[in-house]
Amino acid sequence: MVSALVDSGCVLRGVLSRGDDLSAAAAGVDVVLIATPDGAVAEVAAAIAPVATTVVLHMSGALGLDALAPHVRRGSLHPLVPLPTPEIGRIRLKSGITFAVAGDPVAGTLGRALGGRCIEVDDDRRAAYHAAACIAANHLVGLLGQVERVAAAAGLGLDAFVALAGAALRDVADLGPAAALTGPAARGDEDTLARHRAAIGPDEVPGYDAGVELVRRLAREMAPCG
């Protein structure tokens, strides 16, 4: 995040790490950005002596603004994009992504300075927002890990299936999940589902069945009433 903000014209006054004295971090600056794991945000915020004019922001998608007590000007700036490495993050953060913001308007100012689109997510909706984000990214990665394992059992690599997943995501973007739905679970083809379970091995069946149930739920929701 720091590199992307500097690229966008922000002036960096310093970076503090674990073990540094944080007490004066808010002195003489406009913004303090806390980019720690969620479990450390409150501790770090409490270690910083409040300055009435300085905004303290966290980057957590799940935490509310109460984690930043006792600071008066507080906010959150959460990038809705995977950041697996600093190099990838530096590029993605400036690629027109969505930022979830709350609290002080400076959070939105920084998101827009990075070229992003900002959406307001209040504390009472934060956990649901972050759960959706984790399903969309982390769970999808875990699912493709299962694809890789099952494809290997068929003597195949992951590449073709990544292309398949990409096409399905484009369909969801263009048509919506219900209209994009295809496959045996949506059609109620129980014989095919049974063959799948027999082929993939018992350790993969629970994950497979969880996916089948999600497809069935979506199919039921899109089915005409009566």
pLDDT at residue 226, as a whole number:
46
- Per the CB < 8 A criterion, the answer to whether 151 and 159 are in contact is no
> In what helix (H) or strand (E) does residue 180 lie, and over which residues does it extend?
helix 177-180
pLDDT at residue 224, as a whole number:
62
Question: Where residue 70 sits, what CATH number does that domain have?
Answer: 3.40.50.720
- Global pTM reads 0.89
Same-domain status, 216 and 190: yes
What is the tens place of the pLDDT at every residue in 78-88? 999 999 999 99
Q: How do the pLDDT tens digits run along the chain, 226 residues long?
A: 889 999 999 999 999 998 999 999 999 999 999 999 999 999 999 999 999 999 999 999 999 999 999 999 999 999 999 999 999 999 999 999 999 999 999 999 999 999 999 999 999 999 999 999 999 999 999 999 999 999 999 999 999 999 999 999 999 999 999 999 999 999 999 999 999 999 999 999 999 999 999 999 999 987 665 4
Same-domain status, 112 and 79: yes
d(CA 15, CA 32): 10
Token digits of residue 192: 């095919």
DSSP string covering 119-146, please? EE--GGGHHHHHHHHHIIIIIHHHHHHH
> In what helix (H) or strand (E) does residue 31 lie, and over which residues does it extend?
strand 31-34
Same-domain status, 18 and 107: yes
Antiparallel, parallel or unpaired: β 31-34 and 117-120: unpaired
Q: Is 73 exposed, middle or buried (0-12, 13-18, 19+ CB in 10 A)?
A: buried
Question: Where residue 133 sits, what CATH number does that domain have?
Answer: 1.10.1040
Same-domain status, 161 and 59: no
Same-domain status, 169 and 212: yes
Same-domain status, 150 and 105: no
Same-domain status, 19 and 102: yes
Domain boundary among the residues 99, 121, 143 is at 121
Domain boundary among the residues 73, 91, 121 is at 121
Same-domain status, 77 and 100: yes
d(CA 140, CA 219): 20
pLDDT at residue 222, as a whole number:
79
Same-domain status, 73 and 42: yes
Q: Which of 6, 10, 57, 68 is nearest to 31 (CA)?
A: 57
d(CA 93, CA 70): 29
Q: How many domains does one find in the chain?
A: 2
Same-domain status, 115 and 134: no
Q: Which of 196, 220, 219 is nearest to 207 (CA)?
A: 196
Same-domain status, 213 and 102: no
**Domain boundaries, position 44:** 2-121
Domain boundary among the residues 71, 105, 121 is at 121
Same-domain status, 103 and 140: no
